[in-house]
A and B are shown apart, each in its own frame.
Chain A
Amino acid sequence: MTVDRQSTQARDGEDRSIIAERITRTFDELVAVDTVDLAVPSGEIFGFLGPNGAGKSTLVRVLTTILAPTRGRATVAGHDVVRDGAAVRCAIGVALQDVGLDGLMTARELLVLQGRVFGHPAGEARENAARLLETVGLADVDPDKRVGDYSGGMKRRLDLALALVHRPGILFLDEPTTGLDPVSRAAIWEEVRRLNGDDGVTIFLTTQYLEEADRLADHVAIIDKGRIVAEGTPTELKREIGNESVILTFGDAGTAGRAAEVLAPMAEQRQLTGEELVLYFASAGGVVAEIVRRLDGADVPLKGLALSQPSLDDVFLRATGVRLSDADETVRDEAEEAPPEGSSAGVAAGRGGGS
């Protein structure tokens, strides 16, 4: 069956490419995704941000029909992911966190086979393969070289090309730049922007990189421990906690706690994490002197002070109480003791990593 972008979008009467309603997915006792609601407008880049193990990949697997939800309902391109999975799969392109390539095949063979199983005639599939290799910046690589000899970045790009073979209207990219060098990462970002800007592809992008979500996404949802803790445009989310932030560091957590009490009347929005206290203001320029004066007056020794624009990490910090980078560390520690996610979830869902 050949699927074109027009037909995909025409079915989406509500102009929402992806809708999730109270989606929950459990693995035995573990609740990987907990009553998640989402609505992704057509033509957007939707950033799904969270640390490792937060539930990002599990939700992607539910929305791409690889995993059935335990509870809740979701539609993608107007089709129910449980009742009409085949139609969903025709409308979407998917590049999962772990690239799905056969190292013994060549890029040309993989792309042609992918085209053929999506119903393209052999000649068209071969032409598309050449075009896609150029699109993802692999035109200079021998298309008859075995994929097993590719670098990580080249594999990612080829995986993206495979996801685009049938010209999907919706593209799921699960951590597309994780583990890539800065040059490869920039190349993927450029391609994501081009697909969205020039071709109008709706992109659901999961990432653990704040900068990636900030730079690429029109809307961002932040997930932590299976639940969405914040959602909006990056600008809106940052504005909610203030336009500027003052980051204060102290010798120990106790001192930082005392400082938080002393400065509480000054800043309604504040976040205390260990030895660091962050205060959020509409404008921080005029308050720095007052902060120092109050701390001096209360005999609270200050170790460092910095002014900053709030970042999505601040949004994450405010929503979860930890910074995204710290959350990653915690999850990694827990992961060493816990069974891998999806371990009981069968072939398609059972492969490593992910969140």
Chain B
Amino acid sequence: MTDVLLLVNRSLRVVLRQPAAIIPSVAISVFFLFVYNSGLSSVADLPGFQGSYLAFILPVAIVSAAVSGAGLAGQELIRDIESGYFTKLLLTPTARLSLVWGPMIAAATLLVAQVVLIIGLALLLGLDPATGVLGVLMVIFFAFVWGMAFAGYSVLMALKTKNAAAAQAATFAFFPLIFLSTTFVPEEYITAEWLKWAARINPTTYVFEAMRSLLIEGWQAGPLLIGLAVVAGFATLTGGLALRAAYKETQLTK
């Protein structure tokens, strides 16, 4: 566990020395929050729409931050592979689990900082979360685990492709998931049947719903448990695949 913390600390320090790697991800989230909140806020006037549009669109800004920001984990891993530092770490007693989790947790931690900033901006814009401070912390927790899931995918792609551009492109392949969902309006307002189905099978929908239940409706066991299962399941899947790739691709002996 100490090794994981050492490598998380190292990844955070190194990433913070490259502001250009963080700024675009923050900018995208802030863009989503401001542009969609000001441009689509009249959706909240539709009959039957619950809560403010700001609370409805905030999870979109958070999830988009997870998709773009978590890519940092893979980018950092590729930088280490290209510099030879990854091999240097492989030759230490550090477990490969630490080598995989280090950048993943660092990316998810940065994501949390980013989410805190976005929620802070939303509070300034008038956000009034239904579940209070505890609910906001829960939203941040969801963001962390969802960030871990995407960081795991990003690390997996980094180990498979060993190419910065390819890994980045693979991460952006997940952006459509954000939009094939209840991104801008609740499901009952989606008229296209195919989009309704896409939203139902899209795991992002359940992350949106869990966060929205906390921000708009209050403590609801159903959406929270489903959301938790989705983020934890996805994080376990990508983290496991990344670890397997670390063993397979490094060819290091046991």
The answer to whether A116 touches B6 (Cβ under 8 A) is: yes
Q: Does any Cβ of B come within 8 Å of A105's Cβ?
A: yes
Determine if A68 is an interface residue (Cβ-Cβ < 8 Å): yes
Q: How far is the CA of A65 from the CA of B90 in the complex (A)?
A: 9
Min CB distance B143 to A, Å, is 26
Contact between B251 and A66, CB atoms less than 8 A apart = yes
Complex partner residue of B93 from A66, A94, A96, A117, CB under 8 angstroms: A117
Stretch at the interface among A42-50, A79-87, A211-219, A243-251: A79-87
Q: Are B83 and A348 in contact (CB under 8 A)?
A: no
Cβ–Cβ < 8 Å partners of B42 in chain A: none
Given contacts A65-B253, A82-B253, A345-B251, contact A117 B89 (CB under 8 A): yes
The answer to whether A347 and B159 have CB atoms under 8 Å apart is: yes
Measured CB to CB, the closest approach of chain A to B23, in angstroms, equals 17
Residues facing B in A315-355 (CB within 8 A) are 345-351
Whether B14 contacts A68 by the Cβ 8 Å rule is: no
Are B85 and A102 in contact, CB atoms less than 8 angstroms apart?
Answer: yes
For the complex, what is the distance from the CA of A119 to the CA of B85, rounded to whole Å?
19
Say yes or no: B88 contacts A162, CB within 8 Å.
Answer: yes
A201 interface residue per 8 A CB criterion? no
A100 to B92, CA, bound (A): 13
State the Cβ distance, A114 to closest chain B Cβ, in Å: 7
Inter-subunit contact B14/A100 (CB<8 Å)? no
Judge if A64 is at the interface, Cβ distance under 8 Å: yes
Residue B249 CB within 8 A of the other chain: yes
Question: Is A89 at the interface (CB under 8 A from chain B)?
Answer: yes
Could you say which of A84, A99, A118, A348 contacts B251, with CB atoms under 8 Å apart? A348
User: Which of B80, B89, B254 is close to A83, meaning CB atoms less than 8 Å apart?
Assistant: B254
Chain B residue numbers with a CB within 8 Å of A94 are 91
A1 contacts B by Cβ under 8 Å: yes
CB of B251 within 8 A of CB of A67, answer yes
Q: Which residue of A lies closest to B248 (CB)?
A: A346
Kindly identify, within residues 82 to 116 of chain B, every residue whose CB is under 8 Å from any CB belonging to chain A.
82-94
A99 to B82, CA, bound (A): 11
How many A-B contacts at CB < 8 Å in the complex? 102
Known interface pairs A100-B85, A346-B250, A350-B162. Does A105 touch B10 (Cβ–Cβ under 8 Å)?
A: yes
B3 within 8 A of A: yes
A348 near B87 with CB under 8 A, answer yes
Q: How far is the CA of A67 from the CA of B87 in the complex (A)?
A: 11
Which residues of the other chain, A, contact B82 by a CB distance below 8 angstroms? 351
Is A101 interfacial (CB-CB < 8 Å)?
yes
> A159's closest neighbor in chain B, by CB?
B88
Could you say which residues of chain A place their CB within 8 Å of the CB of B2?
116
Residues of A within 8 A of B6 (CB): 113, 116-117
Instruction: Report chain A residues within 8 Å CB of B18.
Output: 104
Whether A347 contacts B250 by the Cβ 8 Å rule is: yes
State whether the Cβ of B180 lies closer than 8 Å to any Cβ in chain A: no
A residues 55-78 in Cβ contact with B at 8 Å: 64-68
Contact A118 B93 (CB under 8 A): yes
For residue A101, give the distance in angstroms from its CB to the closest CB of chain B: 6
Chain B neighbourhood of A99, CB < 8 A = 84
- Cα A118 to Cα B94 in complex, Å, equals 8
Q: For B94, give its contact among A88, A98, A101, A117 (CB under 8 Å).
A: A117
In chain B, positions 1-30 with a C-beta closer than 8 Å to chain A are 2-3, 6, 10, 13-14, 17-18
| A118–B89 CA distance with the chains assembled, in angstroms | 10
Check B252 for interface membership: any CB of A closer than 8 A.
yes
Of B80, B88, B159, most buried by chain A (CB within 10 Å of CB) is B88
Decide if A197 is an interface residue (CB 8 Å cutoff). no
Closest to A122 in B: B6
Contact A66 to B87, CB < 8 A, known contacts A102-B80, A347-B81: yes
A20 within 8 A of B: no
Chain A residues whose CB sits within 8 angstroms of the CB of B90 once the complex forms: 66, 348
- 15 more contacts with CB within 8 A, not counting A66-B87, A85-B253, A92-B91, are A1-B93, A83-B253, A85-B252, A100-B84, A100-B85, A100-B88, A102-B14, A113-B6, A114-B88, A114-B92, A346-B250, A347-B159, A349-B251, A350-B81, A351-B84
13 sample A-B contacts, Cβ–Cβ < 8 Å, listed by A number: A81-B253, A85-B254, A88-B253, A96-B84, A96-B87, A109-B10, A114-B92, A116-B2, A117-B93, A347-B251, A349-B251, A350-B81, A351-B81
